Amino acid sequence: MSDIARPRRSALYMPASNAKAVEKARTLDADVIILDLEDAVAPEMKVAAREAAVAAVKAGGFGPREIVIRTNGLDTPWGADDLAAAAEAGPDAVLVPKVNDAADVRAYDAALAAAPAHTRLWTMIETGKAAFHLWEIAAASSSSRLSAWVMGVNDFAKEMRARQTPDRAPFLPLLTLSVAAARAHGLTILDGVHNDIEDLAGLEAVCLQGVDFGFDGKTLIHPKHLEICNRVFSPSPDEIAWSEAVIAAFKAPENAGKGALRVDGKMAERLHLAQAERLVQVAASIAAKVG
Ligand SMILES: CC(C)(COP(=O)(O)OP(=O)(O)OC[C@H]1O[C@@H](n2cnc3c(N)ncnc32)[C@H](O)[C@@H]1OP(=O)(O)O)[C@@H](O)C(=O)NCCC(=O)NCCSC(=O)C[C@H](O)C(=O)O
Ligand SMILES: [Mg+2]
């Protein structure tokens, strides 16, 4: 499966120290599992969580789910050992927190030098400094393992002293600019978590908002959020039908050499063709996963 068509609708965090949750993850309908060593793990559990994350990656059994280890920062007592252990375990990706600039990306990339080639670097975007270095952080992907960003709205809100309002108004500029910078450099980008476990209507609204922004998917903190998130971030039957019609229209001999067409009453240009091809690929990847 090409990386661009890989479904990353839902990425479920869990404390790596929670053996029951990690076991459960092997059966949950999440596209990505994030074994957390950072904020979800108390200081006295950090070493045990690291060992559990490494053991889980080595044991496998996660099927099609991508496995990601989120480490502590290199500026903490645990970061360097977390990164060394994660590099040795070789998950699909290592997610690192509180990256501020391109120098941070280079430092984390260097810390993963011994990791297998398939292990990618993902970074959290969650600091005020990062907000002013989005372009250079994304550009660092050309000379590093960096392939995805994850929004950390909780940490950003904490730094800003902002309120997490239902419409997420305080974060809209950061979310828009982050998607723009990520897209410009071909990165996957996942939205932040919805903290209210029981507020499924609010979750659905922010998932829809995330789709509108262009996020590939959303990070989650509870299995209850998986169904809504997967549904909202999947291409809808209408979108698939429109995309197939656009692809067919551009293939038709009578449209050879044309740049703009009328498809089902709407204009379709070659830029829509590219979008349609990607959407159909994502839909096929999701169908293959379910089937
Ligand atoms: C938030 C929780 C602590 C709530 O836990 P709890 O009240 O115990 O949950 P439930 O009783 O409802 O659990 C029901 C069953 O589901 C399993 N479960 C719960 N959560 C998870 C999970 N995340 N992954 C897998 N399985 C989960 C329970 O084990 C129960 O199973 P069973 O007994 O068999 O029925 C808890 O949900 C939790 O720890 N969530 C993850 C917290 C986390 O990882 N936080 C860090 C990431 S968020 C963040 O830092 C974002 C970013 O950095 C930012 O700045 O924004
Ligand atoms: Mg955070």
**Mind listing the pLDDT tens digit for each residue in 4-38?**
789 999 999 999 999 999 999 999 999 999 999 99
Residues with CB under 6 A from ligand 1: 12-15, 20-21, 24-25, 36, 39-40, 124, 126, 152-155, 192-193, 221-223
Q: Could you give the CA distance from residue 286 to residue 291 in angstroms, rounded to a whole number?
A: 8
Contact (CB, 8 A) for 14 and 21:
yes
Q: Residue 15 C-alpha to ligand 1 middle, in angstroms?
A: 8
pTM given for the model: 0.96
Residues listed for the chain: 291
Is residue 186 over pLDDT 80?
Answer: yes
What CATH number does the domain located at 3-233 have?
A: 3.20.20.60
> Is 36 known to sit in a ligand binding site?
no
Q: What is the DSSP letter of 144?
A: S
Digit-coded pLDDT (tens) for 71-122: 999 999 999 999 999 999 999 999 999 999 999 999 999 999 999 999 999 9
Domain locations in the chain as residue ranges:
3-233, 237-290
Is 155 annotated as belonging to a binding site? yes
For residue 13, which atom of ligand 1 is closest to its CA? 44
Q: Please answer whether residues 48 and 105 qualify as being in contact, where contact means their C-beta atoms are separated by less than 8 angstroms.
A: no
Nearest by Cα to 13 from 218, 155, 196? 218
Among 273, 170, 216, 274, which residue's Cα sits nearest to residue 10?
216
Distance of CA 267 to the CA centre of its chain: 31
Distance 97 CA to ligand 2 centre (A): 6
First vs last C-alpha separation in the chain:
15
CA distance 77 to 65: 30
Tell how far the Cα of 80 is from the centroid of ligand 1, in angstroms.
Answer: 26
Q: Residues 50, 37: contact at Cβ < 8 Å?
A: yes
Report which protein residue has its CA nearest ligand 1's atom 28: 21
**Site to substitute for ligand 1 among 10, 12, 14, 218, most atoms within 8 A of C-beta:** 14
Query: In this structure, what DSSP letter does residue 219 have?
Result: E
Distance from C-alpha of 255 to C-alpha of 245, rounded to nearest angstrom: 13
Residue with structure tokens 């609204």? 205
Helices (H), 214-269: 226-233, 237-251
pLDDT of residue 259: 93
Atom 53 (ligand 1): residue with closest C-alpha? 152
Using one digit for the tens of pLDDT, what is the confidence trace for 253-280?
A: 999 999 999 999 999 999 999 999 999 9
- Whose atoms come closest to the Cα of 42: which ligand? 1
Look up the ipTM and state it.
0.98
